[in-house]
Amino acid sequence: MSHTEQPHESVAAEVRAQLARRRISGRRAALTMGWTEHYMSRRLTGKTPLDVNDLAAIAAVLNVPISTFIAPLDSGYAPSRKGADSVSVNSP
């Protein structure tokens, strides 16, 4: 994940990768789950973050644990510093 990529974008990228590994299109996955293509597309592109219910449904279709989609965050997520300079933190 790049240093400017947000966590939900990284999760969406991993979902796309998992679908691609199984040669399942976003359209096919959406239809399998009863979702519209638009709903799925917004989530796969990161325009709308995937929520835990979305991840559970996709994990069931792919037969993988939900943690599969979140694991990449543990190996390199560095939150954007955008706006960090305007935040003050007081130590106890």
Residue 44 in domain: yes
Residue 34 in domain: yes
39, 30 in Cβ contact below 8 A?
A: yes
What is the maximal distance between C-alpha atoms in the chain? Answer: 52
Average pLDDT over residues 66-83: 69
**Residue 44 three-state SS:** helix
> Using one digit for the tens of pLDDT, what is the confidence trace for 38-73?
999 999 999 999 999 999 999 999 999 999 999 888
State the pTM of this model.
Answer: 0.76
Checking if the pLDDT of 5 tops 60, the result is yes
The number of domains in the chain is: 1
Residue 85 in domain: no
Residue 82 in domain: no
First-last CA distance in the chain: 33
Query: Who has greater pLDDT, 41 or 6?
Result: 41
Q: For residue 49, what are the domain limits?
A: 7-74
Residue 84 in domain: no
Residue 43 in domain: yes
Alpha helices, DSSP H, located in 7-66: 7-21, 26-33, 37-44, 52-62
CATH of the domain at 47: 1.10.260.40
CA distance 35 to 30: 5
Residue 29 in domain: yes
